[in-house]
Every structure is written in C-alpha cells, then in structure tokens.
Amino acid sequence: ELGITTPKGYDVSFHYNPEMERHHFGQTHPMKPWRLTLTKGLVTAYGMHYTMKNYTARAATYDELTSFHTSDYVDFLATVAPQPTPLDLDGTNSDLKFNLGGSDCPLFEGLYNYCSLSGGASLDAARKLCTKQSDIAIAWGGGLHHAKRSEASGFCYVNDIVIAILQLLRVHKRVLYIDIDVHHGDGVEEAFFSTDRVMTVSFHKYDPMNFFPGTGALEDNGPKSEHNPGAHHAINVPLNDGITDEQYKWLFENVISRCVEKFKPEAIVLQCGADSLAGDRLGKFNLLVQGHGSCVEYCKGLGLPMIIVGGGGYTPKNVARAWAYETAIATNNQSNVAATAEIPLHTPYRKNFEYDSVLLPSIEQILGDARQNRNTQKRLQEIIQHVTEQLRFVSA
C-alpha cells in the first residue's frame, strides 16, 4: 500500500478497527459505536479508501494509557466487571468509583477493549504525523474529550485526544486543538491547563444550568495564577441553540485564523464531534454537513499536519454522512462526492439513510423546519473581540 496519495498529493491515513463498533453502551444509551460501521460503509462505497492508507488500529497498551491516566484508574478499568443488572437510569448507582457505572458511563462487556482501541487509533494517527508518513491522519473512533486523568465523564473513559497530543509534543513544538463537538472539550482543556505548548479551542453550546458539562464560558481562558505559562491558552466559544452554517463558518474562520497567527502551531488536532449537526438527538444547532465540513476544509487549507478524530454524534445516519464527507475533504474526493449526490446504491445499510438517500440533505429534509437561531450577530462580534484580547497574551 506504499505510495498512495490523494489526487493533490497529500498523504492521508485512515485508522480504524471494526472491533470497536461491536461494543454496546446499552439499549437506551445515545452513544452507538455502530455509527462507525455506517461511516466506514459510506467511505468505502464512494471509493475513498483507494486514495488513502488504511490501517487496522491496534489497542493502546497499558503504558500508553497511563501516559495520561493514573494507573489506579486504568487498573480499575481493566478489571471491573460489566454491570449484571439493567442500569438505573437516573444515575443514582451508589458505588460509583471514578464516576463509572452511572447512566452516562456504564460498565459494559468489553469496556477496556473498547477504550484501548479508541486510544490506539488516535495514537497511531499521532505517530504517523510524527514520522511524517501522513499529512492528515483520520481516527473516527477517537475524540472522547471529556475523560479526565482519573475519572470517566460524559460517555468518555479514556482521553485518546490527550494521549495523541502528548505523542505529538515529542516532535512538534506547539499543537493547536480544535473541538467542534456541541459539548465543551473540558477534559482536553484541563489536561493542558499549565502548558503554553498546547492551545485548546472549543466551540460548544453553553448553558451551565441545563447543558452538559456546564463549563467553557467565554471568560474561562485557563488558570491565571502568577507563573502559569498555560494562562490564556484555553479559548472558549460559547454558543446558543440554532446556529447556522453561515454564522458558524464565519466565526470558526475568524477565531481559528487569529489563533494560528499568534500561536503558530506545528500540528493541529481537530475533534469533529457530529452532535453539532442539525437533527442530532442531543444537540440543537442548525448545522448542515456542508457547514460542519467547512471547518475541516478550512483547517486543511492551513497546510499543517493534522489529526482528525470523531467524538459525539447521536443520530447515526447524520454522523456517517458528515464523517464520510469530511473524509472526502481530507482526500480531495469532494468532486466525486458532489457528483454523486445520491448515496451509492451498493452502500452497506443504505436503507438507514433517509431523505431520498442523499449525502447532503437540506435543513428541510432533516428537520422539516429549522430551529430558532438564538445567536445574534452582536454576540458573535463580542466573542471575536474577547478572543482577540486573549490572544494579545499569546506568542509563539
């Protein structure tokens, strides 16, 4: 498989292990690893696998997992038994250790394997960047941004992103982390609170009383203690329901261009959580696959080595559409995809793609009617103003 490049000469690698999707969080749980099967099916149906290097991701080792997590926590993950009885759905399980076993982070069969595979994929992606074998490395099974050093949180047990960034830092002086999941990337932000070698930027819905995890206010830019080099290196873009493609793209490009200009990253990690799409089971934005994908396009245009990971995304058919489209952007297969508006007839599980089986459904096809947009242009201007002020403290 050596020497495969995309039409414009980028080396793209795809890190994936079909074992991951065989794991189940439970009947009513929103996280469906099966969305990875749908994604891979679309990617293959469009023939994108011919224009990138495909690697079967291996499981991260114990030592790799403990490059970030505590051994106490990883030992417990490795040995804990799956819950024998159905979960109590209000999360009132009395013996929660490391926040495990509640409704958000249930203990299921093969949990340790699932976590190691997610970590392994993102870490493999990072290694390909370090050795310059890939310009863009894709790991849709990663992106689990809430996991803490010693705690599970919000469907995330192992923080594959932090582990991958730690690997990148061996070779790259500065890494820019960008998070377009509808939730705040709190775990990654916290992990790098005290270093000026990682800048984290999260775009998310912010409503501290009503929306998980409740952190990520505009003014939260990292602890401003006396000698913390990491101060000002956490950028947060809090949003309200209903944001549109046009606003999101505008905001994203304004914020990211300023960050790149000041911070001068040597590599980018882009978390592409698909719960920021219209029609998501948990998220309430109005983003289309095109708007979500425009972030990937913009980042690719920066010409820096980049890892792309997944994350949230709770309406599987929409997740697969977005991640397949974004794989097309990475591999320069967009024209191929656009020319075939209809999802190919031989796509596995094609019946799952409704709306006349198009790859890029309109807002009307997805929602009938768009959600009310609660983001004013004035507020978006304020956000850019604040970010610009924070970046005055940042230099490369």
Q: Which residues from 227-286 bind Zn ion, rule CB under 5 A?
A: 273, 275
Q: Which stretch binds Zn ion (CB under 5 A): 295-303, 308-316, 320-328, 332-340?
A: 308-316
* By the rule CB under 6 A, 131 interacts with ligand V1P: no
* By the rule CB under 5 A, 23 interacts with Zn ion: no
Q: Which residues from 351-380 bind ligand V1P, rule CB under 6 A?
A: none
* By the rule CB under 5 A, 181 interacts with Ca ion: yes
Beta bridge partners of residue 53, listed in sequence order: 13
- Minimum CB–partner distance for residue 121 and Zn ion (Å): 18
Which residue out of 184, 204, 233, 292 is catalytically annotated?
A: 184
Q: Which residues from 183-202 bind ligand V1P, rule CB under 6 A?
A: 183
Q: How far apart are the first and last CA of the chain?
A: 38
Q: Which of 15, 35, 204, 258 binds Ca ion (CB under 5 A)?
A: 204
Q: Which stretch binds Zn ion (CB under 5 A): 126-134, 186-194, 304-312, 385-393?
A: 304-312
CA 104 to chain centre: 18
Please tell me the distance from the alpha carbon of residue 374 to that of residue 371, in angstroms, as a whole number.
9
Are residues 308 and 181 in contact, defined by beta-carbon separation less than 8 angstroms?
A: no
* By the rule CB under 6 A, 311 interacts with ligand V1P: yes
Are residues 263 and 396 in contact, defined by beta-carbon separation less than 8 angstroms?
A: yes
Structure token digits, residue 15: 């890190």
Q: Which of 11, 21, 64, 104 binds ligand V1P (CB under 6 A)?
A: 104
Is 15 or 146 the residue whose CB approaches ligand V1P more closely?
Answer: 146
* By the rule CB under 5 A, 202 interacts with Ca ion: yes
| Residue nearest to ligand V1P as judged by C-beta position | 312
Structure token digits, residue 287: 């983003």
Please tell me the distance from the alpha carbon of residue 286 to that of residue 366, in angstroms, as a whole number.
10
Angular region, 357: left φ>0, alpha ψ -120 to 50, beta rest: left
Per-residue binding letters, 264-303, with ligand V1P (x by CB under 6 A): ---------x-x------x---------------------
Residue in 205, 270, 283, 211 with CA at minimum distance from that of residue 30: 283
Q: Which stretch binds Ca ion (CB under 5 A): 195-203, 257-265, 301-309, 384-392?
A: 195-203
SS (H, E, C) 138-190: EECCCCCCCCECCECECCECCCHHHHHHHHHCCCCCCEEEEECCCCCCHHHHH
Taking the alpha carbons of 149, 150, 152, 157 in that order, is the dihedral positive or negative?
positive
Q: Is 184 a catalytic residue?
A: yes
Residues of the shown chain interacting with ligand V1P in the complex, contacts defined by CB under 6 A: 28-30, 91, 103-104, 144-146, 154-156, 181, 183, 212, 273, 275, 282, 311-312
- Residues labelled as active-site residues: 184
